[in-house]
A and B are shown apart, each in its own frame.
Chain A
Amino acid sequence: METVSIWIAAILTLGIFSFLYKDNPLYKACEALFVGVSAAYWAIVFYFDNIYKKFYEGAVTAEEPDYFLWIGAILGLLFLTRLIPNIGWVSRWPMALIVGATAGLWMVGYFVSNAMNQIGNTISNIIVRDAATGFIAWGETFGTLVILVGVLSGLVYFFFSKEHKGVFGATAKVGTWFLMVTFGASFGYTVMSRMSLLIGRVDFLLGDWLHILR
């Protein structure tokens, strides 16, 4: 059974890779299979984790049922009215709940974690001292200064209410240098993560399937 399973996985892997030559029926079939399986996979996971465990076991079979959960289930069912054109507008109610709650959660959450905490980390502990000796750690201090200059100049670049001229423009230009380094690093990081996945697939084909690599 294991051998048959590995052969199926290998054929599917080669089917997806066949797109590198050109678009072809085998790739399209594998793609359609991926779409169908992944949609159903997540539907099952969400059904048992969220609907069954949260709602059914909490509101129906529990010793002390939480009747508030029924409102969530009814709102969820209203979501499905989207599939019926005449009453599809009712699906705006659960959508409004999700959007409103997300807005309320993110408005404060993002401001604290992504703005206040980041500003705090940038402007505090600029001079770094060696924990053992107590002397200034020049390398790390230089690094924190680089971060301070980078964050300030980057924020200046994102400030579009003032024309980027003179000292302001020069600072914004330094900001673009930092942003380009960030984009380059992110790009390089993404390339390497995809390469890692590719190596994993080649390792599967040559190792698990063909037994060339051991």
Chain B
Amino acid sequence: MRRQIPILITTIAGLVFAISYFIPHDPFGESESIFGDWITIVQAFAVWLGALNLLKISFEKISNKTADWPYAAIIVVSLMGTLAIGFYDGYSGMAQDPQVSFRDPGTNFDWLYRFIYTPLSATMFSMLAFFVASASYRAFRARNVQATLLLIAGFFVMGGRVPLFDMMISPITDFPVFSWFADWIMTYPNTAGQRAIMIGIALGIMSSSLRIILGIERSHIGGGSG
């Protein structure tokens, strides 16, 4: 019951989607559409599971007064507040004539997105520039042929993306050496390496998917006896 039914669901869902590629007619074409709708709905509940789990863990931290519990309180307040604003804007917008989406400019939810979510996420990811710069200082050392190629490719791709390097070389030649070479690296050797990796990944995904559909790979349904 605990293992057999999930394996059966996995196999049926996998087969329906795989076969519908080759036979896009009923019943497989219709089944793919039905399964697709289910997955769209289930995905939304999966996101809600994550949010509720975060809430549960944060409440536990607050009630147990663990270290850093005030930050868990900030998570709870910001999560509940955003949910309240989102639901209010969503339902009140639908009641208006014409209807207004909760994401439309001028809504409270849009304000949250523009002045809270975007600054926080953009700054969080922009900080990676500093860490990547320090990582490149360690990685870009010409110790052997491979490391030298890594260094040259990285140097030209970075140099070719800013006008400074082409300007520096302009007294010698008008030809934009850095940006041309960066484009050449991205178009040819980079494409070659990417394709080799992509083909390898595709073959790996094929074999893994086959193992999942045939019920050989069961890690997604957890351990324990059935």
Say whether B95 faces chain A, with CB atoms less than 8 Å apart: no
Say whether A166 faces chain B, with CB atoms less than 8 Å apart: no
From A147, A184, A204, B191 is in contact (CB under 8 Å) with A147
B220 touches A96 (CB 8 A): yes
B116 touches A37 (CB 8 A): yes
A43 touches B185 (CB 8 A): no
Nearest CB to that of B201 among chain A residues? Answer: A114
CB contacts (< 8 Å) of A185 on chain B: these are: 153-154, 157, 185-186, 189-190
Say whether A12 faces chain B, with CB atoms less than 8 Å apart: yes
From A91, A103, A189, B208 is in contact (CB under 8 Å) with A103
CA gap between A40 and B51 in the complex, in Å = 7
CB contacts (< 8 Å) of B222 on chain A: these are: 89, 92
Q: What would 12 A/B residue contacts be, using CB atoms closer than 8 Å?
A: A40-B78, A48-B90, A69-B37, A97-B42, A100-B213, A104-B213, A114-B198, A150-B188, A150-B193, A155-B200, A185-B154, A191-B133
With A96-B13, A96-B220, A158-B200 known as contacts, the answer to whether A80 contacts B153 (CB < 8 A) is: no
Chain B contributes a number of interface residues (CB within 8 A of A) equal to 128
From B14, B87, B102, B194, A100 is in contact (CB under 8 Å) with B14
A42 touches B47 (CB 8 A): yes
B199 touches A118 (CB 8 A): yes
The residue in A36, A150, A189 that gathers the most chain B C-beta atoms within 10 A of its C-beta is A36
B112 touches A41 (CB 8 A): yes
Q: Within residues 97 to 116 of chain A, which ones have a CB less than 8 A from any CB in chain B?
A: 97-101, 103-111, 113-115
Say whether A180 faces chain B, with CB atoms less than 8 Å apart: yes
Please report whether the interface of chain A is mostly helix, strand, loop or mixed according to DSSP.
Answer: helix
CA gap between A201 and B129 in the complex, in Å = 12
Say whether A131 faces chain B, with CB atoms less than 8 Å apart: no
From A13, A32, A48, B123 is in contact (CB under 8 Å) with A13
Interface flags, B95-109, vs A, CB<8A=1, else 0: 000000011000001
CA gap between A71 and B185 in the complex, in Å = 50
A108 touches B155 (CB 8 A): no
With A44-B109, A46-B47, A184-B153 known as contacts, the answer to whether A5 contacts B190 (CB < 8 A) is: no
CA gap between A192 and B206 in the complex, in Å = 33
B128 touches A194 (CB 8 A): yes
CA gap between A71 and B120 in the complex, in Å = 38
CA gap between A71 and B199 in the complex, in Å = 37
CA gap between A44 and B122 in the complex, in Å = 20
Q: Within residues 178 to 214 of chain A, which ones have a CB less than 8 A from any CB in chain B?
A: 178-192, 194-195, 197-198, 200-201, 204
Q: Within residues 140 to 163 of chain B, which ones have a CB less than 8 A from any CB in chain A?
A: 145-147, 149-158, 161-162
A92 touches B2 (CB 8 A): yes
